[in-house]
Structure 1
Amino acid sequence: MIKSASYILCVLLGLFMSGCEKVFDVDLSGYVSDAIVFEGTVTNERPPYFFHLTRPAAITGGDYYNYEGIDDAVIVITDVTEGIRDTLQYVKPRFENHVYYDYYNYDKKRKETEHINSVSQNSAGGVYVTTKLYGIEGHSYSLDIYYNGKHFESDTQKMEANLIITDLKVTKVDLGEKGETFAPCISFINPPGENYYLLSFFPWSYTHSTFSKPNALFGAGSYWRYSILSDEHLQENVVDFAVDDGENAFGYPNGWGYDHSSDSVYVWAQTISRSCYDVFDQMLKQFRTDGGAYTPSPSSITGNIRGGVVYGCFRVSAVSEKGIYVGERSR
């Protein structure tokens, strides 16, 4: 995220860029001094898993805000099921044209390097990596952050079994006012019980992209190719479910992100908890606000981490994926 993704940063950017009919005076003084931002996900992919801890920081006379890496925190993720407590290691950025992170891959038992093409020096810090943890379906995990004399802790999050995608195709769907358009559609088996998913797609590619590496932490923008799904009204066998093209800060209508010229498409499905679903639901409502009488006013969104003002969501997700080559098709 997901991001894991930089979802919180994306939403915050969207709030500042979106046009509103009503003007709101927002006092950011307390937000800057007290808040921290947590990003990163434990997945069922091969470890290690990277996390980003930052704080909002005024950079020009208090008029603009950036995100400054927090380098002196203690972050602990615990596999509650196995009783394994992992104190994350801070990874210092190395600047040589690009930003590089040198770390030890405990799964492959060797040193490795990851690089990020575009990230500000200010926000490049605050990256932490696991040292022994594995993301396993069915296991539960908790997060503890010790920083600035405070203890922040999350709800316990269980990694539900991954979604079984049985088919992926690009076919025409009816978007109502916009009419029919080509969209990625998945078929899948919906397991019993209450299930929540984070869905995302990416045109122009049918190759794998991991959620556990540092580049997943740096990708905020005004386009958000993610949607959430509750299976409350779904059958056991779901056929040709259109993957939503996500939200954006410019008010583009549904279907804005489908690329008809693309010759391939890739879809990810990530299981999420009800508490994370609720956080993303708040974000979506913020994206859709226009300051009118029947939409919510812009406001701060906090996640499932308590102990202070924390923006972000501690998430554990089983990832499933499917990519296809679709070739040429008519508009």
Structure 2
Amino acid sequence: MPVILAIESSCDETSAAICADGKILSNVIANQTIHEAYGGVVPELASRVHQQNIVPAVQQALFNAKVSKNDIDAVAFTRGPGLLGSLLVGVSFAKAFALAKNIPLIEVNHMQAHVLAHFIGDQNPAFPFLCLTVSGGHTQIVLVNDYFDMEIVGQTLDDAAGEAMDKTSKILGLPYPGGPLIDKYARMGNPNAYAFPEPQIPGFDFSFSGLKTSILYFIRDNVAKNPDFIAQNLNDICASVESRIASILLNKLRKVAVQYGIKDVALAGGVSANTGLRLGLQELGAQMGWRTFIPKMEYCTDNAAMIGIAGYYKYLKKDFVGQDVAPLARMPF
């Protein structure tokens, strides 16, 4: 029964988890509030806070799981993609821990781990399945044939869906992080109040840069006519933006599922915590006769549990790396 310590530090969450024989015993996430004052993640500050958080996060994960550091059989860590300085903290800790305990190191691709989060628990999709992976930096439709046999069949050509959410929140003057606030206000608004365009991109790829520009001009023009436009219509604006982003994602997902004849469809990544997108997938799944899968909220955003489950399946294959491993800001899928 392998006991794996998992480390995640790709952006601004420092997370540690314990995975024993494919079961998550603990999952500790230390968030960084320092970035709120800057309206976004500051890479240098993120790496410094990771240094402060990583030891307490690991200690808490061990305590919560009721295991000691001597029980650990391997260390799994996020090698990339992500912010290089943030990754460096997690990779360095993992290498030092593994060296001190003379145990194997397991590198994990952050985006593959988001997909494999669906194997935490007992309700798992069957291979092959599709996974719509949506975050602040990535938007992908992945054909998952096996645990590590994955193919990107559609992806954004420019900006990610999460970035479109973040940009909208800044345009609206919402504090960072704005994504959860858009979700909150959208629940009280009319998703049909305003019509934003859907990009006509051929194939299965996405584009969100034009939508961001459309939202910017829409707000600019209406505020010029009525300075109180945002305050008076915030709920409807958020609901309309959220609805359009969800429809762009789900319309492409439907096309891929029909093309490949797949009935198990999953959602992953930070934006999978968005209520409108979660409900939209479930409604579409009911229409299409799909089995739909969405991780628990704690496994949607960046977390070490997903690194642990990915590390577990790599451990079974004895897929280890040496002490010369280095972080990768961009890591091939």
TM-score of the two chains, using structure 1 as the length reference: 0.26
Question: More helix by proportion, 1 or 2?
Answer: 2
TM-score of the two chains, using structure 2 as the length reference: 0.26
Question: More strand by proportion, 1 or 2?
Answer: 1
